[in-house]
A and B are shown apart, each in its own frame.
Chain A
Amino acid sequence: MSENFIRFQKVTKDYGTVRVVENLDLDIARGEFVSLLGPSGSGKTTLLMMLAGFESVSGGAIILDGHKINDLPTHRRDMGVVFQNYALFPHMTIAKNVAFPLEMRGIPKAEVAGRVKKALDMVQLGALTDRLPGQLSGGQQQRVALARALVFEPRVVLMDEPLGALDKQLREQMQLDIRDLHHRLGLTIIFVTHDQDEALTMSDRIAVFNHGQIQQCASPREVYDHPSNRFVAEFIGETNLLEGTVSAVQGEVITLELPGGTAFRSHGMPGFAAGDKALLSLRPERIDLFSEGAAPEGSNCLSGEVTDTVYQGDHLRVVVETGAGRIIARINRKASEWANGARVTLGFRAQDGWVIAP
């Protein structure tokens, strides 16, 4: 397994005077599933389009398997692309669609038929070979698009929000299917999405995009638990952000003083020194609620008053007004509930918080 199968080196893309991708570096290993996640306009799709060869590269280099491919035409890149709207050929049958890349490669007819059948069986559509795309449901069309992108065993599979047009249930099913194919066939997949759940579910690594730059690229767990900056912390999942000043750093534990005088001990990004301004990111589900004063020894405590409780089915969201501001906690249904106006203490352990730069 070559570690740097695909390399983006200082890649830049300009549209006129607008820079949509800026000095971007990213290495992707063979067999890896990398999601490009970010708000629309953050440059993630543009990066994918440059990798596929649909967009020219304004600066920097894209290297595939040791060769610079900036100027390699799309049809010679050998990448399977799956589009959000499927982009099936409306005038060709399903079988013809899937056979297309094989015919383009001059593969003998006898072999084509067999491989088309195998690819369609793989996505459970073996029975629909003679239909036209227009006669299929959205989910079926996306499976055909998947089969078409995989049948020629491309070096890389690129997916541009492939599940965006499907309804929730179908989308979750397809997520699992794609993950399964990834494991089974050992594919290298680059997957563009703006849906964080999708990215968390499927990826080996997530590259979080904003303003044409990668804010953080790491495993889903790392991105969620240890966001590298405020954008990532806020973009992925829900979080409470508390402002304060670093008063001490001991190993991996940072002590943060809040304006009200409260001090918290929390893990966080490296490189902080006493006196630095900082933010504490506190995920709602990492907070425990206790009756006032009942918090266990050794954990961080903050007292406040319950102002609202929102029922969410499998959990409750409790809004607590504290001296450090409004904090949202998420508690499971087995924990005790509080009435509005109740005085409570919020508690969390050092490893449940994360300190980032403001």
Chain B
Amino acid sequence: MTGSSRFRSSGFRALILIAPLLVFLGLFFVWPLITVITQAVSDPAVSRVLPQTAAAIGDWDGEGVPAPEIQAAFRADIAANTDDQAMGDVTRRLNSSKSGFRSLMGKTVSAVRENPDIDLAEVDKRWADTAFWKAIQDNASPYTDAFLLASLDMERDSAGSITSMKEGTSANFAILMRTLWTSALVTLSCLIIGLPYAMIAASVSGWKRAVLLGAVLLPLWTSLLVRTAAWMIILQDNGIINQSLMGLGVIKEPLVLIYNRFGVVLAMTHVLLPFMVLPIYSVLITVPGNLMSAAASLGAHPVRAFLRVLLPLSLRGVISGALLVFMASIGYYITPALLGGAADQMISSVIADYSIKSANWSMAAAIGLILLVLTLALYAVYNRLSRDPIQAR
């Protein structure tokens, strides 16, 4: 019956206490993520340079040529623009929708600069072609799904419907699938190694348990970078494994253990194993120790007792652990970047390359948004599982 409020203002005081962190996260966490989202869907290149056209052409029905007012807005935009580089961007963008724009725009810009009221059809007869106006209309919106589509290797054709890109032009989708597949492999190997380990850790006591848990926790607190570096040392061509095997005469040539999928999965399994072991362990530790004995006394063979009693009970931990490992895997950057070959890079590397190497933030943001949505969906499931505990079985 000890009540809830010490003072009437307690809720308000709590708000004051959390406000600094809320503001901080708003500025340096939420805002960057919102930036990612907006960057992924915005394409202001055309609408910024041709603002009046963009506003007017939205109403055009797409038949024949646009009304004179719209054409006037277009001329006014061209006349008002002073940034040749931005106009160049617009031209490139339009040209990629409809070829021929490069020459058309060059001609039109110089004509309109001389005479702002010139009839466009007189400048070039292509302005009487619906397709060219349609391209402007398509690109006029400040929002686009082009980047999101491109991050899944898709695009809009000239008719506006979604199609797959030509084979070989983009590998984003393949890399996304590779990311999911590698993460699945890592999750599976963590499960295969971690489940028995957690069961053993929960079944022993005293110093044995301390050692088993310590072995899981110690790597968790040591630098991820250090552990990845260690694996590079172990797996390299003249690393410990190859040297020992060659010394023993088992192999003549060094095995390729690094810069391939094997190295990535092995090192990631090592790094993420604690996230599998700990949830399973914490579920199993609540299972009464005499349950297996009880099953045995009721006549169950040890294997059967395991399958029917211990495994179902540990299921909740297994699901939590698997979600955690998978969730962490799909966003992994450092380990694949260092231990993987070109064919093992995961989606994070692609994002980093777009962003850091080619400064293509729109593509980086679009792929990032897909990764973000995937991760948050998994987290929502995880959160739900850990909040209202489902009954095992």
Contact = CB atoms under 8 A, between A and B. Distances in A.
Interface of A: 15, 20, 40-41, 45-46, 49, 54-56, 73-74
Contacts of B7: 56, 73
Contacts of A56: 5, 7-8
B6 interface: yes
Given A46-B1, A54-B2, A54-B3, 17 more contacts: A15-B3, A15-B4, A20-B1, A40-B1, A45-B1, A45-B2, A46-B3, A49-B2, A49-B3, A54-B6, A55-B3, A55-B5, A56-B5, A56-B7, A56-B8, A73-B7, A74-B6
Interface residues of B, number: 8
A113 B7 CA distance: 33
A40 B2 CA distance: 11
A45 B3 CA distance: 9
Contacts of A55: 3, 5
Nearest to B5: A56
Interface in B1-34: 1-8
Chain B interface mostly: loop
B192 to A, nearest CB: 44
B5 to A, nearest CB: 6
Contacts of A40: 1
14 contacts: A15-B3, A20-B1, A41-B1, A45-B1, A45-B2, A46-B3, A49-B2, A49-B3, A54-B2, A54-B6, A56-B5, A56-B7, A73-B7, A74-B6
A41 B4 CA distance: 15
A85 to B, nearest CB: 10
A56 B3 CA distance: 10
A46 B2 CA distance: 7
Interface in B217-244: none
A116 to B, nearest CB: 28
Contacts of A45: 1-2
Contacts of A74: 6
B40 to A, nearest CB: 44
A291 B242 CA distance: 103
Nearest to A160: B2
Nearest to A44: B1
Contacts of A49: 2-3
A63 to B, nearest CB: 20
B7 to A, nearest CB: 7
What are the 3 A-B residue pairs with the smallest beta carbon separation, nearest first?
A45-B1, A55-B3, A56-B8
A15 to B, nearest CB: 7
A40 B6 CA distance: 21
Most chain A beta-carbon neighbours within 10 Å: one of B3, B6, B7: B3
